[in-house]
């Protein structure tokens, strides 16, 4: 936007400078006409006219240099604006691309979530109500993980190795007893890799 503003500012500046050149040119033309018409007859008038014509020519040259300098600035402002416009387009297309990928990811995640929700419903239906209630409570307290695998004496929920006395209690517990991690309180799931 700044580059475009600079471009339109220099365009205006150029018009103004060209008008200045025109004014000087017209004035010089009028003087020249007067000189050629022979209307001025006294040597002093003639000399004044000639001096003014010379001075106007010099002034016109200076103003034309100003126009050229403005045109150069305008050209580089145009180039800069064009380059930035191109970059904006490229960034916009990247945003479009990322948005499309994000939307596709959302869609696939929604699908996975729907499947997982259905699977959970089926499994939850087979679990005793009081155990499910405990699990849901722990899950809410423990960042979404209410039960953790006991893997080589370590609770995979909090990554703490069980103290030897706690471990011995888990080892002695009947297979259908609900055992908990003494550190994070999550339900521990015993497997063949628990180290029991």
Interface with Zn ion by CB under 5 A: which residues? 155, 157-158, 181, 183-184
- Closer to Zn ion by Cβ: residue 89 or 131: 131
Min dist CB 138 to Zn ion, Å, is 10
The answer to whether the beta carbons of residues 196 and 188 sit under 8 Å apart is no
* DSSP H or E segment with residue 149: strand 147-151
Residues 6+ apart with CB under 8 A from 4: 81
Min dist CB 161 to Zn ion, Å, is 10
Least Cα distance to 178 among 165, 190, 166 occurs for 190
Phi-psi sector, 185: left (phi>0), alpha (psi -120 to 50), beta:
left
Question: What would you report as the CA-atom Rg of the chain, rounded to the nearest whole angstrom?
Answer: 44
Report the alpha-carbon distance of residue 189 to residue 55 in Å, rounded.
Answer: 102
- Closer to Zn ion by Cβ: residue 40 or 145: 145
Min dist CB 111 to Zn ion, Å, is 32
Min dist CB 168 to Zn ion, Å, is 17
Min dist CB 154 to Zn ion, Å, is 9
Min dist CB 167 to Zn ion, Å, is 12
**Of how many residues is the chain composed?**
196
- Closer to Zn ion by Cβ: residue 184 or 189: 184
- Closer to Zn ion by Cβ: residue 54 or 140: 140
- Closer to Zn ion by Cβ: residue 23 or 183: 183
Report the alpha-carbon distance of residue 116 to residue 132 in Å, rounded.
Answer: 17
- Closer to Zn ion by Cβ: residue 6 or 182: 182
**φ and ψ at residue 159, rounded to 5 degrees:** 65, 25
**φ and ψ at residue 155, rounded to 5 degrees:** -75, 120
């Amino acid at each position: 936007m700044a580059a475009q503003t600079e471009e339109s500012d220099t365009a205006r500046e150029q018009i103004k400078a060209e008008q200045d050149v025109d004014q000087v040119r017209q004035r010089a033309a009028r003087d020249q006409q007067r000189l050629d018409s022979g209307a001025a007859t006294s040597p002093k008038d003639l000399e004044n006219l000639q001096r003014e014509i010379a001075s106007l020519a010099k002034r016109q040259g200076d103003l034309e240099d100003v126009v050229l300098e403005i045109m150069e600035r305008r050209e580089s402002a145009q180039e800069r604006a064009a380059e930035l416009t191109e970059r904006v387009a490229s960034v916009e297309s990247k945003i479009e691309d990322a948005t499309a990928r994000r939307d596709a990811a959302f869609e696939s995640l929604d699908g996975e979530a729907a499947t997982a929700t259905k699977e959970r419903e089926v499994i939850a239906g087979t679990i005793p109500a009081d155990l499910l209630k405990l699990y849901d409570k722990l899950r809410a307290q423990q960042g979404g993980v209410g039960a953790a695998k006991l893997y080589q004496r370590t609770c995979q929920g909090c990554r703490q190795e069980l103290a030897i006395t706690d471990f011995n209690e888990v080892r002695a517990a009947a297979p259908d007893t609900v055992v908990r991690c003494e550190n994070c309180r999550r339900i521990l799931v015993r497997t063949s890799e628990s180290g029991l």
